[in-house]
Amino acid sequence: MNIANKDLNLLLVFHVVYQERNASLAATRMALSQPALSHKLNKLRHAFGDPLFVRAPRGLTPTPRAHELAPEVQRLVGELEAFYDQCEGRDYLQRAERIHLYTTDYMEQTLLPSLLPRLREQAPNLVLITHNTRGLLPREELEKGTCDLAIAGFYDNLPDTFHQQRLLSEDFVVLAARDNPHLANGLDLDAFLACEHLLTTLTGDLNGIVDRALQEQGRTRRVAAGLSSFIAPSRLIRGSQMLLTCLRSVAEEAVARDSQLCLLPLPAGLDLPQVEVMQIWHERTEADRLRRWLRQQIQQVASELRR
């Protein structure tokens, strides 16, 4: 087969859409408009004689043919990226720079144990500095250049000059002490509300996602304390009758550390949406090779965590 009439860039489009499963996120990641991405997807479908990606309630779902193609496309894209890195050199990894990341202690605990060894080995002169994002998108810092990257699960209404990429999706669970007497018969909504609660509040607001969901049912819970950390509240549950509704990975880390704690599913009737953790950057750093490489390393670490 003659590949002269083939658009090899479509392989990258397939690769990104397959990873993101979302047209908007894929378009943002490739710096394409939605119409441009739709045009490329139509060319892909024509080239392979298959829909490849069909619309679903939460984005796009790959067809069986797409799942079949994905491993080979991933291999080809990886080899092409490695080829161009070799041709262009990797001197950018030797640059002595400080990169400022705005995030939360939860994301520090989740990403840094795997990320930092990669940075030390491959970009030894890079210094990563983290800042607490404090519940808000650091818009001014991103625009001024004092923030290179922001990672959290609560950013929305992004300006057009910002890019985003989904890293993780996490659901909520309940963390409790194993000897909590309110849980002797399991965790239903009444037992949940009989306990006092801890919550994380980065802004000081105690009306969190759990409270808003309860208010829709005309119910309320008793909040004993609001803390400015995602990690610290889990350390206060042991030996108490308090509950912490938190992301699954926070609870799993706490249970692994302390056998007196247990992880429970949300009680029936309390439905909370999953949290989509995103990394956000400004257009000014989109083409910078070192920062682009760092974003790729973060995405790869997050991808490994999802397995």
Query: What is the domain extent for residue 119?
Result: 92-168+275-306
**82 assigned to some structural domain:** yes
| Closest residue by Cα to residue 23 from 59, 48, 74 | 59
**40 assigned to some structural domain:** yes
- Residue 18 neighbours by CB distance under 10 Å: 19
Pairing of strands 97-103, 242-247: unpaired
Averaged pLDDT score across all residues of the chain = 91
**298 assigned to some structural domain:** yes
Q: What are the residues facing 294 on neighbouring strands?
A: none
Among 10-19, 190-199, 235-244, where is mean pLDDT lowest?
A: 10-19
3-state class of 183 per DSSP? helix
How far apart, in whole angstroms, are the C-alpha atoms of residue 233 and residue 250? Answer: 10
**94-146: pLDDT as tens digits:** 889 999 999 999 999 999 999 999 999 999 999 999 999 988 999 999 988 89
CATH assignment at residue 24: 1.10.10.10
**250-302: pLDDT as tens digits:** 999 999 999 999 999 999 999 999 999 999 999 888 878 899 999 999 999 99
- Residues 101, 139, single domain; the answer is yes
**269 assigned to some structural domain:** no
**46 assigned to some structural domain:** yes
- Residues 176, 256, single domain; the answer is yes
- Residues 178, 240, single domain; the answer is yes
**54 assigned to some structural domain:** yes
Residue 80 — very low, low, confident or very high, per pLDDT cuts 50/70/90? confident
**16 assigned to some structural domain:** yes
pTM above 0.95, yes or no: no
- Residues 110, 49, single domain; the answer is no
Mean pLDDT value of segment 69-90? 79
CATH assignment at residue 293: 3.40.190.10
Residue 157 is encoded by which pair of tokens? 């209404």
- Looking at the structure of the chain, the number of domains it has is 3
CA atoms within 13 A on the CB side of 51: 8
Q: Tokens 């829909």 — which residue?
A: 51
